[in-house]
């Protein structure tokens, strides 16, 4: 068993009784080729995701140590981390949700169990828990509404996952609300302060609320976004309209209001740790790039945050 895997399992055994991030834990592992680029790197895998995604990471030398928690089917699609094993808790504040539906994967990374975890993002299911758990959460380009991606605390692992060595300084524009969303002033201000490192210019972008199209699964080009990306590399917004709520649910707030338009359009997007609100809870900055330009998202992640530490309630 690789040393990093052994350390990950020890960490998991310590924090799992409180955080409930794993649906299943693996205890036996096949040998790993030490010449692979990520040889022996322990990862967590979102339960129910595409097997091919896990296998692509294993081909790089990653070692899955378990399947992470997701909704058990008794909660609505706006999940807040409940599952058959108990409530998955946010390691920054145990009374708050980590977000969903890739709740366990975000918690596994934020709590220091693994350096990388997989997710699937159908409306914000990677970016929202990444924002609320204070880690990077990447959704890749996709022709379908749901896209695969990963969580990590290290932008260099994003580059390794994507197989890119490109270094750049992308241009950016800023929209606090996409022209329709209701966003808390504190969320917008913290995200804007983080975005300032990219020197974005404010843009008067007005998108239609994508709720109706999302429920009808109408995916395809977005003319407003296509026009926007003719003159900039990145669109920056807050990742979420508000902070993580309690385990009793989101109420009437639509947590996906800033994320799900880009599932319909297929653009790659990332949540980048932007700082903390007045209650000490993480805030995320969302960056959206042209199709196939995940390298620009990695560049933004490196310029804005650097490496991210482990959440305090996991210590």
Give the pair of three-digit tokens for residue 117. 């975890």
Q: Find the catalytic residue in 46, 102, 139, 305.
A: 46
Q: Is 175 a catalytic residue?
A: no
Residue 101 falls in the annotated catalytic set: yes
Task: Say what the alpha-carbon torsion angle 59, 63, 69, 70 is, to the nearest 10 degrees.
Answer: 0
Q: Are 142 and 289 in contact (CB under 8 A)?
A: no
Whether 139 sits among the annotated catalytic residues: the reply is no
Catalytic residue selected from 101, 105, 142, 271: 101
- The angle at the Cα of 239, spanning 235 to 221, to the nearest 5 degrees, equals 45
What is the C-alpha to C-alpha distance for residues 40 and 111, in angstroms, rounded to an integer?
A: 19
Residue with tokens 């609300």: 177
- Compute the distance between CA of residue 90 and CA of residue 135 in angstroms, rounded to an integer: 12
Classify residue 239 by its DSSP letter. Answer: S
Catalytic residue from among 102, 125, 142, 265? 125
Tell me the sheet residues that pair with 63. 42
Report the sign of the C-alpha dihedral through residues 109, 111, 112, 113, in that order: negative
Query: CB-based burial of residue 76 (10 Å sphere; 0-12 exposed, 13-18 middle, 19+ buried)?
Result: exposed
Rounded to an integer, what distance in angstroms lies between the CA atom of residue 282 and that of residue 124?
A: 16
d(CA 138, CA 130): 9
Rg of the chain's alpha carbons, rounded to an integer?
Answer: 18
Residues recognised as catalytic: 46, 101, 125
């Amino acid at each position: 068993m690789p040393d990093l895997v052994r350390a990950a399992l020890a960490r998991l055994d310590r924090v799992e009784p409180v955080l409930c991030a794993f649906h299943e834990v693996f205890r036996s592992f096949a040998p790993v080729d030490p010449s692979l680029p990520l040889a022996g790197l322990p990862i967590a895998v979102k339960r129910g995701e595409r097997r091919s995604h896990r296998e692509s990471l294993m081909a790089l030398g990653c070692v899955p140590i378990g399947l992470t928690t997701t909704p058990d089917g008794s909660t609505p699609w706006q999940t807040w981390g409940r599952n058959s094993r108990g409530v998955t808790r946010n390691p920054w504040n145990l009374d708050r949700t980590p977000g969903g539906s890739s709740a366990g994967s975000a918690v596994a990374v934020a709590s220091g169990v693994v350096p990388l975890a997989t997710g699937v993002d159908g409306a914000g299911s990677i970016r929202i828990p990444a924002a609320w758990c204070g880690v990077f959460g990447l959704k890749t380009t996709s022709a379908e509404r749901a896209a695969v991606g990963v969580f990590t605390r290290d932008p260099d692992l994003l580059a390794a996952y994507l197989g890119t060595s490109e270094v750049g300084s992308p241009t950016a524009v800023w929209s606090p609300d996409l022209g329709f969303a209701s966003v808390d002033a504190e969320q917008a201000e913290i995200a804007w302060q983080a975005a300032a490192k990219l020197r974005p210019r404010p843009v008067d972008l007005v998108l239609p609320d994508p709720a109706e199209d999302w429920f009808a699964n109408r995916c395809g080009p977005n003319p407003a976004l296509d026009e926007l990306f003719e003159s900039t590399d990145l669109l920056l917004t807050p990742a979420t309209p508000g902070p993580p709520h309690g385990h009793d649910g989101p109420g009437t707030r639509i947590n996906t209001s800033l994320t799900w338009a880009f599932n319909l359009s297929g653009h790659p997007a990332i949540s980048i740790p932007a700082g903390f609100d007045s209650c000490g809870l993480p805030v995320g900055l969302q960056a959206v790039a042209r199709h196939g330009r995940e390298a620009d998202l990695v560049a933004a992640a490196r310029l804005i945050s650097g490496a991210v530490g482990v959440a305090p309630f996991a210590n």
